[in-house]
Structure 1
Amino acid sequence: MGKQAAGCALAVGMVISTAAIALRAYQSAPSLPATPAIRVSTRLVVLDVVASGKDGMAITDLKSEDFKLEENGKQQKISGFGLERAGAPVKPPALPPGVYSNRPEYHMPSGALTVLLIDGLNTPYTNQARVREQMIRYAATQMSAGQQTAVYALGSRLVRLQDFTSDPRLIATALSSYKPQLPSVNTGTTLAPLQGGAGLAGLNPGEAEFVAANIQQFEGDQTATALQYRIQGTLAAMQALSRILGGNPGRKNLVWVTASLPFSMIAEQNDITYAQTRAGNFGQAPVPNEISNASYANHIQQTATEGVKRVAALMTSAQISVYPVDAKGLLGATLADASRQGSNGAGLLMIGGDYGEAVSNASNRQFASQATMEEMAQQTGGRAYINRNDIDRAVALAAADGSTYYSLSYYPEKKKFDGGYRKLKVVVSRPGVQLRYRPGYFAIEPEKVSDKDKQPELISALAGPSNATMVVFDARIVPPAPAAKVDLPVQFLVQADTFTGEDGKNGERAVDLDFYVTAFTKDGKMAANTGKAVATSLPADQYLQMQQKGLLMPVNISLPPGSYDLRLAVRDNHTGYVGTLSVPLTLKQP
């Protein structure tokens, strides 16, 4: 993208000094919201704690002094405390003409939020129709009054089916529009057994073993490729949801209806077992001797470790709790049923030890899948719903859980964030109280995004199904008089408490932001794009002005007459956080 550098403090200071004039256009707009609960630069850790009695009912009369919080065994001083509960949504005032915003209050309701995610990437085609049917039943019969809910679907990419609404009819309509999806790549299902003359019956034992080994190797390669595809797609979806929901304060419930999750949220435990690889993800167990394939699949999951850490940190920052719901429903322990032909992928009949091993592998696969769901829920402060056929009821329970919770915040005594995992422990003085919360977090140091990662991450954010809200900004766009080609001014006003200013010399604060404006035609083609960079250190007085008024940055883009989808983005290069905004634009003919 074409980018103009604005690298000196004087230029930025002049921009900030004009903010008061520009802000007159925003006088009828609401004041900027309070500082978000988490910004890595402040090292403030926020922990949601759900407290209930033995009857499962929420306990709402606990005080700050009733809680004790430890990090890695050391008690921490609780600096912020509050009881959060669902309330009536508050509608923000209308924005002035020509002003647009990605502030969450203009795109998401206040209070408890629930996201329903139908996972077609990690769920067999045969299970997806049943999932859709039961989720429609949930919307029609069990969705709580006033429950603000959005619906997303995950296939080759994340798609929004319905924005937040409390209307069950809209949710049911969105769920009805979902079509079961075949995987874009082989998801690990083994080859159909060879039949008749195409089988291995005419070969001697040595030849049959050789052919079977080659088929088994091919299947192993397919499984490993599918695993990599699923890991990348799932991580991208979690990252996108964190960007979308992160700017909205408070807890969010992500009800994830899936048949399996391709990685562990405990990054160091991303290890695929020998039995898992041999059994594949959804198909029958292939022939024996698959250690090389197990090693390859293990390598794929191990290389995902850093990505899992980053996504886990993003989800912690966004206060997203995951509620996995097993799309397979209630299954037997062995998965042996009449549909199984007792053959492996090479068409050979499994008998004796081979068949017993295949049944064992299938059981291990099921248990491992459910264990990963339980772990995902535990690590994010949610609950897993497995081994039940009433998926609609499971979704209802997950959506209602955690609507009342305590918010505890503290500044860790260990200031340096070294990327390690820090264990948390919360206890209360009152007996009989059951607590549920995240058991820990990754203390990841904010770092500048590498040049090679900048463009892919930006494209991912701009192509997301909803606005990213990790960096919050307003934009004033007033088209000039019609002309054959106009120079359209876009004025960004970035909320100062949603990006970082790193400490520098003599009290200066370093700011490193990128601004982007991209115009797409109605058929999705890029018409023009431009950008501007602000990488400078501000004196203390100018930084104080910026904190009070926000950072104003003008960016111009040249366009001919026509209808466009204008996509705006601001990225904080200190943290990698991104904010995006989509604005419809029509430039009239002269």
Structure 2
Amino acid sequence: MAFRVLSWNKMLHRCKPYLTVRGMKKTAIAALVLGAAVVHTYARQESTPIFRAGTTLVEFTIVATDNSGRPVTDLTQSEIAVLQNGKPQPVAFFRFEGSAFGPDAAEPRREPIAPGIFTNRSEYSPGPARNVTAIVIDTLNTLPEDQVAVKAQVMQYLRALAPNTRVAVYGLGANLRIVHDFTNDLEALRARLAAHRIEYNIQAMSADELVRRQLQEAEHYNDTVDEDSDSNDDVDQDAQADAERQAEFDKARAQMARADEYFQEQLHTRRMNQTVASLEALGNHLAGIPGRKNLVWISGGISMLTQGAHDRWVNSYASQVRGLGQRLATQGITVYPVQATGLQIGFLGTSTTAPGSSKGQEEKMHLRPMTRENDLRIWGTMDMLADVTGGRAFKNTNDLMAGVSAAANDMRGSYSVGFYVPDNSDNRWHGFDVRVSRPGVRVLHRKGYMALAPVKQPVSWAQADWQAAMQNPLGSTAIRLDARADAVPYGLNVLIQIAADDLYYKRVNGQPVADLEIGFGERNQKEWTRVRRDGATITIKENPQATVQPSIVRFAKVWTIEPDTSHVRLIVRDRMTGRFGVLDMPLS
């Protein structure tokens, strides 16, 4: 195995040490250095503010449109006001993001990176370093016939995209899969999507739909029994026996319906949990990308409220949906939900199944009524996610790409805004509002942010958590990482560079201390072979005269590896906040 190692100078510069490191285990851990004046090859944005001690920067995007919905591209900082609890907040920076998406936009510049250096920072990936669109095709909550239409329209949409567009496609099924991660190679993206399979998932059918169909089958069976009984002249039907048989049949049918409702409620809960977990995992994957991050969720939808026909108790998932929206909003992700069922046909409510009746047509054509109570509950889920994150919801339309088109149009009128708040992490949602002084201009923005608080005591992952994170195809950029690996006998000497402001620091003896876990996973050509972990505490030696925190920490360790290892995955996890970053290093 050969590992190309080039100069580290462009990536890592010598600087005055500002911290000390104490290993949690008695293993070989090199000293870390952290520099306030370190120069990196990743792009510095001219409007990006410095990191201030004792405060938290709330960075978000707004979309400005006129009364006709056209993007407004010449808004100035003096025309906006950010209010929290009704009080104006000083705007730390204001940046127009839409210039990269206009008709005359130039090809985006990719930051160079030396061979042998690995990073999870978005500015080194193909395409523009900011402002992306993720399309999620939800097969978990969508019927197969609707998936066919979704796939066809996504393929058609990708053919019409501008060459510089940076987009990714993911599949949400039993787990979250990468169809194609962010790229501006649209031919490769279309080819990968063409190979994406349609999935049949019985869980996508709503509980009330399944119960209704099963009751119809039971009624049909009962009618058949009655017809067979009437045609048998040799059997003397006793009226009382017939009534008892019918009562027993009705009782069994009701018990079956109750049992099925309970089963379907469990499936619904599993679908909701899987949907939330998958979208949160995608949020972690997108967290480190600056600028506007649009998530277009194309789905049959999942109801925020459930209620059975026999058990009338209402089960609400509103807090789970709201919490998901708030966490995604805090990561700077804007959700555009699109209902995959398209335009639906109204049902008049007649009971006959004769050909030509509305009921008969529904059964024949498998049409779902748009007035069903369950659809309104699904719309509630979509509306809540869009409202909290600052997006738009699209339902009851055959244009399934309306959400993608709206997300692309919003990019052209998007601005990044930031303001500072005191560092008072309390795990609560804090709302804010944005107002524009220019007449006729409206803005879309997320409704607030979560002031995430660390745990009282450090929490370590179990081995199963490490295994799951290593095998998850979606990495996380919640902690930004750079690394270099040097081949040594029987292993690798790995030097990791960590963005200091992605970590949480608690006070120990008056000094800020970060508590980390470092995971190291190995994979050969077939499977993951082993996962190991280590830990370190990082203590920053503060300068009382400084108002700016140092920006980089470094961690070095020699890891032994197996001879057939072809891929290494590094995970750096903050034990106080649970945030983690993932860095993949293919070995050659």
TM-score normalised per structure 2? 0.78
In structure 1, stretches of 5+ residues that fail to align are 21-25, 264-271, 279-287, 343-349, 351-358
Counterparts of 1:42 and 1:441, CA distance in 2: 14
Counterparts of 1:249 and 1:38, CA distance in 2: 15
Partner of 1:91: 110
Matches within 5 A, 1:158-197: 158-183=176-201, 185=203, 187=205, 188=207, 189-190=210-211, 192=214, 193-194=217-218, 195-196=220-221
Matches within 5 A, 1:186-225: 187=205, 188=207, 189-190=210-211, 192=214, 193-194=217-218, 195-196=220-221, 204-225=245-266
**Partner deviation per Cα, 1:130-149 (whole Å, 9 max, x = no partner):** 11111111122x32342111
- Say yes or no: does 1:125 pair with 2:138: no
One-letter amino acid of the structure 1 residue matched with residue 310 of structure 2: N
Distance 1:451 1:416, change over 3 A: closer
Partner of 2:413: 404
Partner of 2:75: 62
Counterparts of 1:339 and 1:180, CA distance in 2: 34
Structure 1 residue matching 2:534: 3-state secondary structure:
strand
Distance 1:385 1:39, change over 3 A: farther
Counterparts of 1:568 and 1:554, CA distance in 2: 12
Distance 1:429 1:564, change over 3 A: same
Partner of 1:289: 310
Instruction: Tell me, yes or no, if the aligned pair for 1:112 and 1:403 is still in contact at 8 Å.
Output: no
Partner of 1:30: 41
Instruction: Tell me, yes or no, if the aligned pair for 1:532 and 1:555 is still in contact at 8 Å.
Output: no
Distance 1:581 1:124, change over 3 A: same
Q: In the comparison of the two structures, how many residue pairs are matched?
A: 522
Give 1:231's match in structure 2, choosing from 252, 269, 272: 272
Shift of 1:563: 3.6
Partner of 1:6: 23
Distance 1:211 1:198, change over 3 A: farther
One-letter amino acid of the structure 1 residue matched with residue 531 of structure 2: N
Instruction: Tell me, yes or no, if the aligned pair for 1:186 and 1:223 is still in contact at 8 Å.
Output: no
- Say yes or no: does 1:135 pair with 2:154: yes
Counterparts of 2:191 and 2:73, CA distance in 1: 36
One-letter amino acid of the structure 2 residue matched with residue 30 of structure 1: T
Counterparts of 2:401 and 2:97, CA distance in 1: 26
Shift of 1:165: 2.4
Matches within 5 A, 1:118-517: 118-140=137-159, 142-183=160-201, 185=203, 187=205, 188=207, 189-190=210-211, 192=214, 193-194=217-218, 195-196=220-221, 204-263=245-304, 272=305, 276-278=306-308, 288-291=309-312, 294-295=313-314, 297-298=315-316, 301=317, 305=320, 309=323, 311-334=324-347, 363-412=372-421, 416-447=424-455, 451=459, 458-481=466-489, 486-506=490-510, 508-517=511-520
Shift of 1:327: 0.4
Partner of 2:233: none
Identity level (%): 25
What RMSD, in angstroms, separates the aligned Cα atoms of the two structures? 3.8
Instruction: Tell me, yes or no, if the aligned pair for 1:230 and 1:262 is still in contact at 8 Å.
Output: no
Give 2:524's match in structure 1, choosing from 521, 525, 530: 521
Counterparts of 2:580 and 2:52, CA distance in 1: 13
Q: Which has the larger radius of gyration?
A: 2
TM-score normalised per structure 1? 0.78
Shift of 1:321: 0.7
- Say yes or no: does 1:15 pair with 2:31: yes
Shift of 1:475: 1.8
One-letter amino acid of the structure 2 residue matched with residue 171 of structure 1: L
Shift of 1:509: 0.7
Instruction: Tell me, yes or no, if the aligned pair for 2:325 and 2:384 is still in contact at 8 Å.
Output: no
Shift of 1:335: 8.5
Shift of 1:247: 0.8
- Say yes or no: does 1:82 pair with 2:89: no
Structure 2 residue matching 1:44: 3-state secondary structure:
strand
Distance 1:218 1:341, change over 3 A: farther
Counterparts of 2:55 and 2:294, CA distance in 1: 25
Partner of 1:559: 561
One-letter amino acid of the structure 2 residue matched with residue 430 of structure 1: R
Instruction: Tell me, yes or no, if the aligned pair for 2:326 and 2:429 is still in contact at 8 Å.
Output: no
Counterparts of 2:570 and 2:470, CA distance in 1: 8
Moved more, 311-320 or 367-376: 311-320
**Partner deviation per Cα, 1:170-211 (whole Å, 9 max, x = no partner):** 332222122111227575333541353697867645323321
**Partner deviation per Cα, 1:393-423 (whole Å, 9 max, x = no partner):** 543333332333222222236x534333333
Counterparts of 2:532 and 2:352, CA distance in 1: 57
Instruction: Tell me, yes or no, if the aligned pair for 1:512 and 1:534 is still in contact at 8 Å.
Output: yes
One-letter amino acid of the structure 2 residue matched with residue 277 of structure 1: Q
Moved more, 54-63 or 111-120: 54-63
One-letter amino acid of the structure 2 residue matched with residue 81 of structure 1: F
In structure 2, stretches of 5+ residues that fail to align are 1-20, 101-106, 227-241, 360-367
Counterparts of 1:363 and 1:91, CA distance in 2: 49
Instruction: Tell me, yes or no, if the aligned pair for 2:479 and 2:499 is still in contact at 8 Å.
Output: yes
Shift of 1:94: 2.6
Instruction: Tell me, yes or no, if the aligned pair for 1:86 and 1:111 is still in contact at 8 Å.
Output: no
Counterparts of 2:464 and 2:354, CA distance in 1: 45
- Say yes or no: does 1:105 pair with 2:123: yes
**Partner deviation per Cα, 1:434-473 (whole Å, 9 max, x = no partner):** 1111123333323368647665654444333233111111
Instruction: Tell me, yes or no, if the aligned pair for 1:186 and 1:222 is still in contact at 8 Å.
Output: no
Moved more, 196-205 or 375-384: 196-205
Distance 1:392 1:429, change over 3 A: closer
Partner of 1:116: 135
Distance 1:441 1:540, change over 3 A: closer
